[in-house]
Amino acid sequence: MFRTAFRHTVLLVFAAIFMTAGMVHADKPYEETMDKNKRKFHLFLRPKYKTPDLQLHYADRLSEKDHLRRAGRHYRALVAAWPDSQEAPQAMFRYAGVLEKRGKYLDAFDEYEKLVEDYDFGYDFDTVLDKVFRIGHFLLNNKKRFLLFGAVASPERAIPVFEFIVTKGPRSEHAAESAYYAGYANEKILEYEKAIESYGRVLHLYPTSEWAEQAAYSQAYCYYLLANESPNGTAAMDDAWVAWTVYLNRFPRSKNAESANEYREEMYERRAKAAFDKARYYDKIARKPKAAVQAYQSFLKEFPHSLWTKDVQRRIEALTLTADMERKDDE
């Protein structure tokens, strides 16, 4: 009995010790134990120095001496070896700058994009957007060179660059202009529907910016071009006419108002011609005078000032007179 009581006492003592230790351990705050400067192995990118600060300084010296390829390699080696260090985003930013100096603008953009995706410290975000914006304009305005075909305009290269600015920096200095030029580049490669979407983004997100008017005009013009691609498509002509009407209502004193009005009048007459042809089909081909009169009357309501208005009025009178005479003969 004494031994049983003794064992119970010992167990209670140990339990109390473990509970106390657990409570002490639970009260201890969590501490980050990962060493951000611990070097990682990379098969092909090996830094010259054993710490990221010395490696960054070495790569900077190579860049200052215009040893750009070597500098780029050692910036990349730093990021590969110490991706969690304070120096890593600085190295990536400077590597992108090296690529710019070497004329590799798309590769530079890729690095800036990766920098923003991977890091939120170690660089000035507005400076990155400025550099990306300049890259976009370069790609938009300069031709791509091919070995066999020479230089060819390739504005599509600039589209993801400008869209990156709008997505990542929607309130930045270059956002409205970038949204416009994304539309402009799409328009140049005949992607009119995508251009319309980009121009619409300017009007929706930046309605008071200096780019809003030009975006509205360009958007209406893309609708006009789509209508030209389907000359018998009444929906496309309707869209174009509405777009020009909206533009003129919004910017009545624009320097482009005269040309916009000419485009709108052209769409008005083309829509009227399509409606007239439909009514004429019922009249002359289908030989359905009642349906023809209804179609002609609808025409007059929608197009009271078209080139065919007077002809339609005369035709309605003639069809009505014929119907009256036939009714009298039946009586």
d(CA 96, CA 128): 10
Tens-place pLDDT, residues 232-272: 788 999 999 999 999 999 999 999 999 999 999 999 999 99
Identify the band that residue 329 occupies on the pLDDT scale cut at 50, 70 and 90: very low
d(CA 187, CA 163): 15
Domain boundaries, the chain: 42-123, 267-331
The pLDDT of 54-74, averaged and rounded, is 97
Tens-place pLDDT, residues 185-197: 999 999 999 999 9
Residue 272 neighbours by CB under 8 Å, 6+ apart: 299, 302, 303, 306, 307, 308
d(CA 260, CA 244): 6
Q: Looking at the domain covering 42-123, what would its CATH class be?
A: mainly alpha
Diameter over CA atoms, the chain: 133
> Tokens in use for 155?
């504005």
Q: What is the pTM of this model?
A: 0.78
